[in-house]
Structure 1
């Protein structure tokens, strides 16, 4: 009887650890997605303040927006 209880305790522990791992993984993925969305919004603020114009590839403002996005990701820890 004691062996069965021991096995159940180990099984319960494994299940709890697995559930915690799944929760942490999902939370981390959700958090990084939210940070990327916010950084994208921040990087697009320059386009909004410039009248919503789209800039050609390689223009100074487009490079600035891409740099701003990368800097935001670094600051947020991604």
Structure 2
């Protein structure tokens, strides 16, 4: 009878440890996904927007002049 109780406790502990492992794994992969999203390179539209903002603030460019600029320039 005592061995059965030990076996049950071991099974309960195993189940608890397994659930903790699954939870940690779930959190790890969620964090990894968000980090990959953050580290993606910027799109051309985002780069153009950042550059236009930079030029407006640094060099005194006017929005009308920036409208006709292409990304390559």
Normalised to the residue count of structure 2, the TM-score between the two structures is 0.59
The offset of 1:43, in angstroms, is 1.3
Name the counterpart of 2:36: 35
Segments ≥4 residues shifted beyond 2 Å: 44-48, 50-53
* Equivalent-residue separation in structure 2 for 1:15 and 1:28 (angstroms): 20
Pairs aligned (count) = 51
Q: Give the gaps of 5 or more residues in structure 2.
A: 55-70
- Which has the larger Rg? 2
Q: Give the gaps of 5 or more residues in structure 1.
A: 54-60, 62-78
Aligned CA RMSD, in angstroms, stands at 2.1
Normalised to the residue count of structure 1, the TM-score between the two structures is 0.56
Name the counterpart of 2:20: 19
Ranked by relative contact order (alpha carbons within 8 Å, sequence separation 6 or more), the top structure is 1
The offset of 1:52, in angstroms, is 3.4
